[in-house]
Amino acid sequence: MFSKILIANRGEIACRVIRTCRTLGIRTVAVYSDADADAQHVRLADEAFPIGGSRPQDSYLRGEVILDVALKAGAQAIHPGYGFLSENADFADAVEAAGVVFIGPKAASMRKMGSKAGAKQLMQAAGVPVVPGYTGEDQSPDLLQREADAIGYPLMIKAAHGGGGKGMRIVRNAAEFLPNLESCQREARNAFGRDRVLLERYVEHPRHIEMQIFGDAHGEVIHLNERECSAQRRYQKVLEESPSPFLTPELREAMGAAAVMAGRAIDYQNAGTVEFIVGQDGQFYFMEINTRLQVEHPVTEYVTCLDLVEWQLRIAAGEPLPKAQHEIAQRGHAIEVRLYAEDPEAGFLPGSGKLARLRLPAPDAHTRIDGGVIEGDTVTIFYDPMIAKLIVWDDNRPRALARLRDALAQCAIEGPKSNIAFLERLVRHREIVDATIDTGTLDRDLDAFMPKPADPAQARIARAAAAVATLLHEEARTREAAAASGDPSSPWARADGWRLGHAGHRRLVLDDGGEKRTLLAHGSGGDYRIDDDGEAIEALGARLEADGALSLRLNGESRRLRVDIDDAGALPRVALHDGERRWRFVREPAYRPADEAGASVGDRVLAPMPGRIVLIKTNVGESVEAQQEVLVMEAMKMELTLKAPRAGVIAEIRVGVGDFVEADAALVVMGDAA
């Protein structure tokens, strides 16, 4: 076994690899960009070395620099994690040539899978089922159009090199083909440096099921059963689980055999994932092999009771597979979701910024957190905005879903917006609960997973609970301050809100982001009357529990809610969870001058976030319609199309292709038609 390895990655995967290395007594070497100098993976590693600028191409994609660090540090092997250089065959070759072990498949296997077109042809020859389509090298638009027409619609255009949902489009008729082809090729060229595409029949309402495989240097290949990843948005996985609730034992056996066959066809070693698309009729087709460890590997670890990173290390060190196929267990049910800094209500725009507050459930036998940041860290604009992976396990799927709902309710993130509330709605949705979701469900019916207006009575109860929690918190702080003061018996130090002219009358202004209400509170010590727009709510026996819960009786009904109070910022905030819905209130000053009206942005196209301009689709002086596309920018590994806010004439274009722009920068200025 190795005594020291370098991890050529960052964030949660680097932290994950470090955790296993510690249990095996292996020292770790981290690398970091300028943006990651204070990152958690740097702090957790035994040694860490800078490798360049904040952009991936200036640091984590500089294979020669990373290899040089490994040699200087005396690392015997390099673990590439996933993403960045993990599927770069040239890097794997360079590592091996330098006498360092690459903890992953051989470069030859990567090259066979590096092209989706070549991989498909190879799998077809090996007897693995593949989707009908076109994988030829002739990429002329006219020929691709003819091939598409021959395959029939709907069909999928896919970048031949790359993954992660980049360079993929669904085309439903011939007229849509060429515009989608151009967009797909452009995105593939920006993401992977090559714009070759392949075409294949699009399977309606498919399930996405993948098989975890492992191969060793002694010719053995086995599978560790499946993961289902059908809950997707724009080809990005949102929820992963194992085992799949869709598979029958017979289908599981057939897909496992096909996955092993695929691994043997390319002499596979180490961890890999064979991905299949499965129709509603149970017919399955090869999609691709990801020649690396996958983001969702923890669900496999939970149900098999195995450490897949440990397997990777042992196989890379030349050991045989630790278990035979018949020894692989499948125990209970595991589900994973990813907590992202993104705004689902704004098209899932990735976010960035300091994590002013980060509360996650405590890990235990049923709950696992794989994270790469802690409270106070910054989610940067340069990398994937994932905050953490939340994984739960229980004896069966219904109990695992219940665990997941409870774990999500314990999460609180302040700073950049997050997808937690979206995930909570997702895991309660009928198609998730009934296991009928397919890969297109979220894109077809995203509104069903977006927030609905709150019932007014429910909102009133939530406001009252937030007011009570705020009062209890303030009273506790007042008592603490009084006890520490020189005159603890002063009437001004009383915690009941008493002042000259009124006894216990307190005004609270609470803003939930959609509505601002002024509440009048009377009482103290856990017994209050809350006046909300002329309606009185009686709160009795209120208490903030040691576990962070608020227990009370509201109008005679006993309730228990999760509560999280943060008064460290300029405006105090209270977050509530009633078991089904998340509420967030900001307490504003009770008396303040009227706010000035903000400047209009109706004449400008603004950058929604930091990014790079990749395409300008208009010119100065050109007339445009409202919502006409004018710019395309790339941010956090995705393309964003920016549209005209109204009809008019383009008066100014303040950027050029390739420019890097900051959030809220004015990119285009509109004028009126003559």
Interval 447-494: pLDDT, tens: 999 988 888 888 999 999 999 999 999 888 888 877 777 666 665 555
The token pair at 135 is: 């994988």
**What confidence tier does 497 reach under pLDDT thresholds 50, 70, 90?**
low
Q: What is the pLDDT of residues 524-538, one digit of tens each?
A: 999 999 999 889 999
Alpha helix stretches (DSSP H) within 152-219: 177-192
> Could you tell me the residue ranges of all domains in the chain?
4-103, 132-201, 209-449, 456-588, 604-671
Q: Is the pLDDT reported for residue 322 higher than 70?
A: yes
Instruction: Pick 604-671's CATH classification: 2.40.50.100, 3.30.465.10, 3.40.50.720, 1.10.10.60.
Output: 2.40.50.100
In this model, does residue 438 exceed pLDDT 60?
yes
pLDDT tier at 37 (50, 70, 90 boundaries)? Answer: very high
For residues 542 and 527, the answer to whether their CB atoms sit within 8 Å is yes
Give the model's pLDDT for residue 502.
Answer: 45
Contact 223, 242 (CB under 8 A): no
> Is residue 368 pLDDT above 90, yes or no?
yes
Cβ atoms of 386 and 367 closer than 8 Å: no
List, for residues 527-585, the tens digit of each pLDDT value. Answer: 999 999 889 999 999 999 988 899 999 999 999 999 999 887 768 899 999 888 999 99
Residue-wise pLDDT tens digits, 53-63: 999 999 999 99
Catalytic residue among 196, 292, 314, 582: 292
Q: What is the pLDDT of residues 274-303, one digit of tens each?
A: 999 999 989 999 999 999 999 999 999 999
209-449 CATH: 3.30.470.20
Our separate counts of H helices and E strands in the chain read 16, 39
Based on the number of CB atoms within 10 Å of its own CB, is 336 exposed (0-12), middle (13-18) or buried (19 or more)?
buried
Q: How far is CA 110 from CA 113, 129, 370, 491, 565, in A?
A: 5, 20, 27, 75, 50
Q: Output the pLDDT for position 337.
A: 98
In the CATH scheme, what is the code of domain 4-103?
3.40.50.20
The H-or-E segment that residue 401 falls in is: helix 397-409
Q: Which pLDDT band, with edges at 50, 70 and 90, does 496 fall under?
A: low
pLDDT score of 612: 85
Would residue 403 show up in a list of annotated catalytic residues for this protein? no
The mean predicted confidence, pLDDT, of the chain is 91
pLDDT (0 to 100) of residue 599: 30
Q: Residue 650: name the closest of 669, 626, 627 by CA.
A: 669
Rounded mean pLDDT of 190-197?
A: 86
- How far is 516 from 234, CA to CA, in rounded Å? 35
Q: Tell me the mean pLDDT in the region 636-658.
A: 86
What would be the CATH architecture of the domain defined by 132-201?
Answer: 2-Layer Sandwich (3.30)
Highest mean pLDDT among 39-43, 150-154, 290-294, 612-616: 39-43
For the structural domain made of 456-588, what CATH number should be given?
3.30.700
- Measured CA to CA, the distance from residue 240 to residue 336 in angstroms comes to 5
| Angstrom distances, CA of residue 374 to CA of 87, 137, 298, 404, 499 | 28, 47, 20, 21, 42
Question: What pLDDT is stored for residue 49 in this prediction?
Answer: 98
State yes or no: pLDDT of 504 exceeds 60.
no
Structure tokens at 81: 């994690």
With a cut of 90, say whether residue 164 has pLDDT above it.
no
pLDDT confidence of residue 593 = 43
Collapse the DSSP code of 186 into the 3-class scheme (helix H, G, I; strand E, B; otherwise coil) and give the result.
helix
What pLDDT shows up at residue 190? 83
Average pLDDT of the residues in 631-650: 84
